[in-house]
Amino acid sequence: MNNAVEKQVKEGLKKTKYKDTIFSSANIKENTIRPSFNLELKNNKTSLLNGEAIQREFDIRLFYFAKSKDDSKFELMEMQDILSNIFKDAIKISEDYYIATFKCEFDVKQDEGFLTLMLRKLYCLEQKEEIGEPLEKIILNEKVVF
């Protein structure tokens, strides 16, 4: 999931002045690299669905740290518009699988020079990986029993 979000952001920034902005895994409370993105998955709930599939519900928080804490108002507004366009419909997981994004919520901390994009209540359904061998058919009194 992290790779898909990172790839989609980098693709969306390709033709902008922010194309070289990095994704940082540093602790955002201690060593903030500017400009950079930081990604968090929150409220991840994974459960088995009918023995055949796995369903996941989760939230994504994407932080953008402006070049400087000072005078970041226009940069944060511009990045908000860019991220809205990047995630307006879905997160692309693979060529034929997308997770719908229904709403982009932003929280701008202008005095601290960063913004947070929240994508809430995302849902995906994945086919469970089969393990072991399939059961062989057993014929008992001319009836097929598994």
| Residue 29 three-state SS | coil
The reported pLDDT for the residue numbered 133 is 60
pLDDT tens by residue, the chain, 146 residues: 889 999 999 999 999 999 999 999 888 777 789 999 999 999 999 998 877 888 999 999 999 999 999 889 999 999 999 999 999 999 999 998 999 999 999 999 999 999 999 999 999 888 877 666 655 656 666 665 55
Tell me the whole-structure pTM to 2 decimals: 0.82
The reported pLDDT for the residue numbered 17 is 97
Q: Which helix (H) or strand (E) holds 54?
A: strand 53-65
The reported pLDDT for the residue numbered 29 is 78
The reported pLDDT for the residue numbered 137 is 59
| Residue 136 three-state SS | coil
The reported pLDDT for the residue numbered 75 is 97
Q: Which of 48, 56, 72 is nearest to 129 (CA)?
A: 48
CATH of the domain at 132: 3.30.2000.10
Q: Which of 132, 135, 76 is nearest to 108 (CA)?
A: 76
Domain count, the chain: 1
C-alpha to C-alpha distances, 141 to 22, 54, 136, 144, 145, nearest whole angstrom: 67, 37, 16, 8, 10
- In sequence order, the β-bridge partners of residue 59 are 42
Q: Domain containing 117: what range? A: 2-145
